[in-house]
Amino acid sequence: MEPGKQVRNTENHDLSRRSFLGVWLGLVSLAVGAVLTSPFVRAMFRPLTARDQHSDWVDAGAVADYAAARVPVRRPIDVVQRNGWRASVYIVKVGSTLRALSPVCPHRGCTIAWDDNEGRFLCPCHGGVFAPDGAYESGPPPRSLDVLQTRVVGSRLLVRYQNFRSNVPVRQAIT
């Protein structure tokens, strides 16, 4: 073989080996990047896509239990949340129907409490005040208490427990 031709063949061989290594390194970088960023991407879109056990229908007791209730009744329900706390809801009578209210303040997520003396729901964190039916009255919360879906099956009241995004004026479910 001529010496010039042999040098050109070696250069071509080196070039194709470098191209192959470049493509291979590029693919490896893409794969590593995808693995590293996927938790962040999932976390970013989770509120839009998530659907989990925290939005199930749960038993909130017999309808008859609330027949005589004059004030909102706090009812623990069988939903175990990720943070280990057991969930609860307030059941209130609005006219002749029962309404389930989330006890989570829509401002920053503190747990509101019914105050018998005030006849209002009060938030201990920043002074949010809500009427007995959950309507916003005063303080920093941007909306009324979140109303949970209910339905009656036989003699039982079922509640669809959900979490909602805090500190936004329009309710957005995140579970």
Give the one residue of 12, 126, 155, 172 binding ligand FES; rule: CB under 6 A.
Answer: 126
Q: Is 145 in the site for ligand FES (CB under 6 A)?
A: no
Q: Is 140 in the site for ligand FES (CB under 6 A)?
A: yes
Residue with tokens 């809801």: 89
| CB of 98 vs ligand FES, minimal distance in Å | 24
| Residues 34-93 close enough to bind ligand FES by CB under 6 A | none
Give the one residue of 79, 105, 145, 159 binding ligand FES; rule: CB under 6 A.
Answer: 105
Give the one residue of 54, 99, 107, 143 binding ligand FES; rule: CB under 6 A.
Answer: 107
DSSP 60-128: EEEGGGGTT-SS-EEEEEEEE-TTSPEEEEEEEEETTEEEEE--B-TTT-PBPEEETTTTEEE-TTT--
Cα–Cα dist 103/87, whole Å: 9
Which parts of this chain interact with ligand FES (CB under 6 A)? 105, 107-108, 110, 123, 125-128, 139-141
